[in-house]
Amino acid sequence: MPDATTELEHASADIVLTRDAREILDRAAKVATARGSLHIVPADVFNATLQLPGNLADAEMRALGFDPKSIAPLIEANGAGETLPLRQLLVNANREAGVLGHYQVDSIHLLLAMLYTDSPSTSVPLMKAGLTLYDLRRHVQTGTKTGAPPVHGSARPDADLRKRPWPSLQGVLGISPVFIGIVGATAVAGVLLWMNYLPRYVAFLTLLFVVGGWVTSLCIHEFGHAFVAYLGGDRSVAGAGYLTLNPLRYTNVTMSLVLPIIFLLLGGIALPGGAVYINHSALRSRVWSSAVSIAGPVGTVLCGLLIAGVFFVAPQHSWITQGNLNFFAGLAMLGFFMALA
């Protein structure tokens, strides 16, 4: 049996939809499938809108004095005629969202797109019923009908749509193999120091444990900057790979990673290290810019508190013994370096 879902997936792939809009389009796909078609037409979308009571499009039509169910027969009577492809309908709806200052395509934008002249199968019967693009836009933005003075302090129907939604984290966050390797090497060194399996290599294992732990905390520090920046509006950090905890993706690996490690080895000086480029002009506000600056040190502080917590609990449970003394010595040094950084 034909299924219109495939067309919907392709047509809406790059369109950000609200929950209501997604539900309406899913139902429209079922309507199209039920009539034996692989293609969703604007009339299917309108009929699906009626199946979801309480959506903004339904509420706006009723607020303007129209009964949506009485308009449906007019659209059906208009016949198939020349229909607009679903993709173009969604592009028009997305354009309406942009014009109105909205961040997602909602049911109201689908209705506005159905009033475009390039969708005669819906625009003609809707306008015959008395619903116009201008009246609908005005009411969405002001909550008043054409010719009526705006009411001071009245709630705008599109208030929720004007709020910028949180960005989706799907497919954005990740853990790079490089970071996994660093954490793994640090963990192995820590276990060997704890068990005291290789006493002849204590110096090397301590070095590996401390440097690996410091680089791990550095990755967390920079991830904090990038993660908050992404939430704040800077999408470039995702493309730069900063959200994968990969230290090799930093702006300048030599200055950000190699030289700080060398200074750490030579003089026991923990430089801040790490550098992710943040586009502060893309952030929502100065508050977000400040939050980005604070996020990195917060990550380092959390790592330091974790180490401090170990030393707080260890004496109470007699964890520190002669056999694992080197482990706690290395952990103390790591905590000291985090405090310096």
Block residue for tokens 């799907």: 170
Alpha-carbon distance values, 89 to 59, 81, 245 (Å): 21, 16, 40
Is there a contact between 110 and 122 (Cβ–Cβ < 8 Å)? no
C-alpha 88/C-alpha 84 separation (Å) is 7
Q: Is 7 a catalytic residue?
A: no
- Ramachandran angles phi, psi of 89, nearest 5°: -60, -45
Note the helical H segments in the chain.
Answer: 5-11, 19-34, 42-50, 56-63, 68-77, 86-99, 107-113, 120-128, 133-142, 177-195, 202-232, 236-239, 253, 259-267, 286-313, 325-340
Task: Give me the catalytic one of 7, 60, 96, 222.
Answer: 222
C-alpha 338/C-alpha 333 separation (Å) is 9
Alpha-carbon distance values, 315 to 206, 310, 311 (Å): 21, 9, 7
Alpha-carbon distance values, 299 to 70, 210, 272, 306 (Å): 59, 17, 13, 11
Amino acid found at 298: V
C-alpha 146/C-alpha 251 separation (Å) is 55
Residue 341's CB: how many other CB atoms inside 10 A? 21
Alpha-carbon distance values, 70 to 61, 139, 333 (Å): 11, 20, 76
- Ramachandran angles phi, psi of 302, nearest 5°: -65, -40
| Cβ neighbourhood burial of 319 (10 Å; 0-12, 13-18, 19+) | middle
Helix axes 120-128, 68-77, angle to 10 degrees: 130
Positions marked active-site: 222
